[in-house]
Structure 1
Amino acid sequence: MIRRYSHKDKIKVIDLFRRNTPKYFDPSEEFDLENYLLRELEDYFVFEKNSEIIGAGGINYFPEEKLARISWDMIEPNSQGKGIGRELIQYRMNLLSKNHAVEIVMVRTSQHAYKFYEKVGFELEKVERDFWARNFHLYQMKMTK
């Protein structure tokens, strides 16, 4: 089940982040995630199975650029490769397809996850080394609706 994030989910989402560290995130990014959940959250969703949060991901909007950005995606390590990430991204893309103010969807990820986004239709736009942290490069990708 995919549902909207609630502030009561914060501890479980932080735990999900930690279970994906250091493979997909650098430990220094935890502060950025906490800040996002407190101050930058727009649309954020969790994927629940058997009352456990096993996935999360959001959308941020930049109306002046007609842009939406996929943000803070993470899947419980033991649930990766089972279609949950694809379902979560498809859920958000369906929401965005109804938003006529958005023309471009962007995702900023790392070298560790960009292949997933390629599979769902995003195209690589640029790479910036050591952007997120040492050995965590920015892979900026986009898709036109």
Structure 2
Amino acid sequence: MSIRKYQADDLDSCLEIFEGNAPKFFDPSERDDFRRYLETLNDPYFVFEQDGKVVGAGGYCQGPKEMGLAWGMVRCDLHGQGIGSALVRYRLERIAQDHPDQAVAIDTSQHTCAFYEKMGFETLSIKEDGYGPGLHMVLMRRPPSLA
């Protein structure tokens, strides 16, 4: 198991992970946005490899007031095995090293907000159907002191 920087040839693996997590965790309409994000990547983005295969991915970006976690996901059949936690911790550690005074924000769904609460995030707001029908947008924030 290892975490490494995303490479262009990881695109298909990342899209497969996305598709396996739709429609519960991502609205299928977001697929093209995710593809464009990866094809024009300007932010740090990482993949989690297990047995030589990409099984998770996630990145972060600089927002106007704080850092933000971006497009975090784990292969659907591997949920609950610690891969997502490892990816979040890795990204938070990188942010703490490079931007120690920055809070970290994420917009996620109602299905994963409890996971992020365990990582020190607090819910700021919930927008019903924010991503699509039945998929609410939960805005969360983690103070910089928790790095």
**Normalising by structure 2, what TM-score?**
0.92
Question: Hey, what's the Cα distance between the residues in 2 that align with 1:114 and 1:35?
Answer: 25
Asked whether the 8 Å contact 2:47–2:56 carries over to 1, the reply is yes
Asked whether the 8 Å contact 1:96–1:102 carries over to 2, the reply is no
* Deviation larger for 94-103 or 3-12: 94-103
Task: Report the equivalent of 2:47.
Answer: 46
Asked whether the 8 Å contact 1:68–1:102 carries over to 2, the reply is no
Task: Report the equivalent of 2:72.
Answer: 73
Aligned positions of 1:4-83 closer than 5 A: 4-62=5-63, 64-65=64-65, 67-83=66-82
C-alpha RMSD of the superposition: 1.3
The one-letter code of the counterpart of 2:97 is: K
Task: Report the equivalent of 1:139.
Answer: 138
Task: Report the equivalent of 1:109.
Answer: 108
Q: How far apart are residue 34 of structure 1 and its match?
A: 0.9
- Structure 1 residues 115 and 44, CA gap change in structure 2 (3 angstroms): same
Question: Hey, what's the Cα distance between the residues in 2 that align with 1:28 and 1:103?
Answer: 31
The one-letter code of the counterpart of 2:125 is: K
Aligned pair count? 143
SS of 1:98 mapped into structure 2: helix
Task: Report the equivalent of 2:85.
Answer: 86
Instruction: String of CA shifts for 1:119-141, please: whole Å, max 9, x gaps.
Output: 11100001111111111111000
Runs of at least 5 residues in structure 1 that lack an aligned partner in the other structure? none
Asked whether the 8 Å contact 2:48–2:57 carries over to 1, the reply is yes
Asked whether the 8 Å contact 1:57–1:73 carries over to 2, the reply is yes
Question: Hey, what's the Cα distance between the residues in 1 that align with 2:99 and 2:52?
Answer: 34
Q: How far apart are residue 39 of structure 1 and its match?
A: 2.7
Asked whether the 8 Å contact 2:24–2:135 carries over to 1, the reply is no
The one-letter code of the counterpart of 2:12 is: I
The one-letter code of the counterpart of 1:35 is: R
SS of 1:127 mapped into structure 2: strand
Asked whether the 8 Å contact 2:60–2:67 carries over to 1, the reply is yes
